[in-house]
């Protein structure tokens, strides 16, 4: 059963998946509660446009994707508090604009298609060792930030007026939250692709919120769901000869369906 | 003058440069129990947010007068409908937020903050529901938790936005009596905004009346509820 762990690239796959789960699953609670679930999808498109741009101009794709992702999230942090337009309109336009830009840039980039596909669908099986270290460091910082800034992140999201009345800067903490989210998403997309990143940014939090009674429990349960689904997905894909990323995504989707069904039966 | 907690001088309030209330001059006195009333859309909440510092006045000055050199602490009770029911927070988790302004950045609440928040829930009669999900409480119970949250910040001035909105008569009475009791217990200055005449009529001591021409008239309840003043705020424009 554990022969999978004797194969180096499968060990790396498992490690990459677990790191992404540890990094994104706790964030997914806020992503769901802040109603920004499609940010992940929009940012994936922006990221792929960034990669296409980088290929076109022959510069490092990840650097361009990271910069564009961070700029997008910084834009979200400013727009999150705007009374002019619902945030989802901005997310929708970024999704559409990012998709169009990616396609148009691919057309002009002679070697772009393969790299774009790698960003969009990722390949958890081929995560290089240096990227694993970068992921571990990045997600550790993001997790630590979430822990120490829990009260600021909570009140800025839950009751911005109250936060301001208490002298807590909502703009500052929204910016810090979105930058942390942006960095985590950028590195996760680079490692495991847009589909798994997007799902990990929604499913664990959405599943946990179906049955928890307190917020601190939601972070713990979301993280457990993310890690367990990832480990189960890696093993299942190995035994059943399925692609790993989509297997993890399918397990996360099934977990959400069960959680949602449980909540519905309970009348929550 | 010595008894003034907040002094509002020649203040114009509004959003994005558009004035809603003009040339306001009034004071909130220590120990006040003041109701701010006016028709829907008259600018009550805008005035409250300006007092809170959430909006800058377009003109004029608002002076907060600290007691014994300690900066004035303001407790804010938001409209409970504005809070997102998807957040799975217990009553205690909501109440402890009132302490967040007193805890340094990047520090988590300590046991002492927990105890103070629990004590505030006790003061509003909600201690036995501290662990219950906030979203599963009744409207009146949620309002009590929000009042406890504001009290947890140990405020000198408590500002409440429509504290009895959407409640039946009994629940409204219970909340207003609770506020009155809190005011008497510790002489906390309380200002509440409402569009409900009943809350003003039965409980406020002083009344700030927002008139149709965008000014604020302040006085004793009896004077403010006189027909001529009511007409300044509520009478329909003759055509």
Dump pLDDT digits (tens) for B162-175: 998 888 888 888 89
**Is pLDDT of A83 > 80?**
no
| pLDDT at residue A116, rounded to an integer | 64
How far does the CA of residue A223 sit from the closest CA of chain B (Å)? 16
Would you call A68 an interface residue with chain B, using a CB distance cutoff of 8 Å?
A: no
Q: Cβ–Cβ of A217/B88 closer than 8 Å?
A: yes
Dump pLDDT digits (tens) for B218-236: 999 888 888 888 888 887 6
Query: pLDDT category, A85, cuts 50, 70, 90?
Result: confident
- How many Cα neighbours within 13 Å face the side chain of B198? 15
Query: pLDDT category, A1, cuts 50, 70, 90?
Result: low
Q: In terms of pLDDT, which residue wins out, A43 or B100?
A: B100
Give the residue ranges of DSSP H helices in B124-234.
139-152, 169-186, 197-203, 221-224, 227-234
Going from N- to C-terminal start, the domains of chain B cover 1-72+157-239, 81-155
**Is pLDDT of A267 > 80?**
no
**Is pLDDT of A235 > 70?**
yes
Average pLDDT, chain A: 89
* DSSP state for residue B187 in the 8-state scheme: -
* DSSP state for residue B239 in the 8-state scheme: -
Q: For chain A, how many structural domains are there in total?
A: 1
Pick among A84, A144, A151, A210 to test the B interface (most B CBs inside 10 A) = A151
Distance CA(A160)–CA(A240), nearest Å, equals 48
Q: Please report which helix (H) or strand (E) contains residue B57, including its range.
A: none
Residue A265 counted as domain residue: no
How far does the CA of residue B89 sit from the closest CA of chain A (Å)? 5
How many contacts (CB atoms, under 8 Å) link A and B?
75
Query: pLDDT category, B148, cuts 50, 70, 90?
Result: very high
Pick among B77, B90, B94, B101 to test the A interface (most A CBs inside 10 A) = B101
Q: Cβ–Cβ of A151/B78 closer than 8 Å?
A: no
Q: Cβ–Cβ of A215/B88 closer than 8 Å?
A: yes
Tokens of A140: 């550790």
Residues B155 and B186 sit within 8 Å (Cβ to Cβ): no
Dump pLDDT digits (tens) for B25-49: 999 999 999 999 988 888 999 999 9
Residues A46 and A94 sit within 8 Å (Cβ to Cβ): yes
Distance CA(A157)–CA(A33), nearest Å, equals 8
Q: Cβ–Cβ of A151/B93 closer than 8 Å?
A: no
Residues B102 and B153 sit within 8 Å (Cβ to Cβ): yes
Q: What is the CATH number of the domain that holds A228?
A: 1.10.3470.10
Tokens of B75: 């407790």
Q: Is A267 exposed, middle or buried (0-12, 13-18, 19+ CB in 10 A)?
A: exposed
The stretch A3-12 carries a mean pLDDT of 87
How far does the CA of residue B237 sit from the closest CA of chain A (Å)? 31
Residues whose CB is less than 8 angstroms from the CB of residue A257 and which lie 6 or more positions away in sequence, other chains included = none
Range of the domain at A242: 2-260
Distance CA(B155)–CA(B157), nearest Å, equals 5
From residue B206, how far is each of B217, B220, B224, B229 by CA, in Å?
11, 5, 8, 14
Percent of chain B predicted with pLDDT > 90: 64
- Name the most confidently modeled range: A118-132, A219-233, B60-74, B75-89: A219-233
**Is pLDDT of A121 > 70?**
no
Would you call B115 an interface residue with chain A, using a CB distance cutoff of 8 Å?
A: no
Would you call A111 an interface residue with chain B, using a CB distance cutoff of 8 Å?
A: no
Residue A267 counted as domain residue: no
Percent of chain B predicted with pLDDT > 70: 97
Q: In terms of pLDDT, which residue wins out, A13 or A49?
A: A13
Q: Quick one: how far is CA B158 from the chain centroid? A: 5
Query: pLDDT category, B239, cuts 50, 70, 90?
Result: very low
Cross-strand bridge partners of residue B7: B27, B63
Q: In terms of pLDDT, which residue wins out, A17 or A103?
A: A17
pTM score: 0.91
Query: pLDDT category, B237, cuts 50, 70, 90?
Result: very low
Q: In terms of pLDDT, which residue wins out, B192 or B65?
A: B192
Q: Cβ–Cβ of B78/A161 closer than 8 Å?
A: yes
Q: Three-state DSSP class for A153?
A: helix
| pLDDT at residue B238, rounded to an integer | 42
**Is pLDDT of A68 > 50?**
yes
Residue A101 counted as domain residue: yes
Distance CA(A44)–CA(A22), nearest Å, equals 20
Q: Please report which helix (H) or strand (E) contains residue B107, including its range.
A: none
- At the topology level, CATH places domain B1-72+157-239 in Rossmann fold (3.40.50)
Residue A268 counted as domain residue: no
| pLDDT at residue A106, rounded to an integer | 79
């Amino acid at each position: 059963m554990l022969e999978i762990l004797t194969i180096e690239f499968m060990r790396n796959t498992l490690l990459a998946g677990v790191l992404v789960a540890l990094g994104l699953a706790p964030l997914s609670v806020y992503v769901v509660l802040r109603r920004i679930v499609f940010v992940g999808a929009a940012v994936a498109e922006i990221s792929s446009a960034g990669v296409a741009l980088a290929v076109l101009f022959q510069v490092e794709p990840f650097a361009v994707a990271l910069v564009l992702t961070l700029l997008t999230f910084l834009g979200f942090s400013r727009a999150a508090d705007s009374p002019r337009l619902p945030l989802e309109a901005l997310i929708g336009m970024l999704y559409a604009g990012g998709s169009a830009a990616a396609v148009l840039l691919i057309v002009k980039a002679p070697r772009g298609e393969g790299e774009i596909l790698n960003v969009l669908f990722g390949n958890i099986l081929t995560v290089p060792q240096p990227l694993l270290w970068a992921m571990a460091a990045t997600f550790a910082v993001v997790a630590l930030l979430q822990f120490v800034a829990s009260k600021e992140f909570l009140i800025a999201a839950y009751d911005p007026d109250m936060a301001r009345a208490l002298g807590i800067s909502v703009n500052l903490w929204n910016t810090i939250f979105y930058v942390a989210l942006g960095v985590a998403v950028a590195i996760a997309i680079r490692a495991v692709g847009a589909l798994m990143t997007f799902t990990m940014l929604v499913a664990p939090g959405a599943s946990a919120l179906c049955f928890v009674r307190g917020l601190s429990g939601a972070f713990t349960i979301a993280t457990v769901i993310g890690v367990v689904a990832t480990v189960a997905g890696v093993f299942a894909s190995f035994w059943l000869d399925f692609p790993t990323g989509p297997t993890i995504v399918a397990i996360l989707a099934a977990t959400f369906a069960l959680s949602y069904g449980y909540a519905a039966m309970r009348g929550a | 003058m010595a008894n003034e907690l907040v002094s509002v001088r020649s203040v114009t309030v509004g959003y994005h440069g558009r004035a809603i209330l003009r040339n306001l001059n009034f004071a909130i006195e220590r120990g006040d129990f003041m109701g701010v009333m006016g028709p829907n859309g008259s600018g009550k909440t805008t005035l409250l947010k300006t007092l809170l510092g959430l909006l800058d006045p377009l003109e004029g000055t608002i002076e907060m007068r600290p007691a014994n050199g300690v900066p004035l602490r303001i407790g804010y009770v938001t409209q409970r409908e504005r809070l997102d029911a998807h957040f799975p927070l217990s009553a205690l988790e909501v109440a402890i937020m009132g302490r967040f302004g007193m805890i340094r950045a990047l520090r988590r609440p300590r046991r002492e903050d927990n105890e103070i928040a629990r004590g505030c829930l006790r003061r509003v009669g909600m201690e036995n529901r501290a662990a219950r999900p906030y979203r599963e409480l009744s409207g009146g119970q949620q309002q009590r938790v929000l009042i406890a949250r504001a009290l947890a910040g140990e405020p000198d001035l408590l500002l409440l936005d429509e504290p009895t909105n959407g409640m039946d008569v009994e629940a409204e009475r219970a909340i207003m009596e609770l506020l009155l009791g809190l005011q008497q217990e510790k002489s906390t200055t309380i200002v509440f905004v409402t569009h409900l005449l009943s809350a003003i009529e039965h409980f406020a001591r002083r009344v700030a009346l927002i008139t149709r021409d965008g000014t604020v008239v302040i006085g004793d309840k009896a004077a403010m509820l006189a027909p001529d003043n009511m007409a300044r705020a509520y009478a329909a424009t003759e055509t």
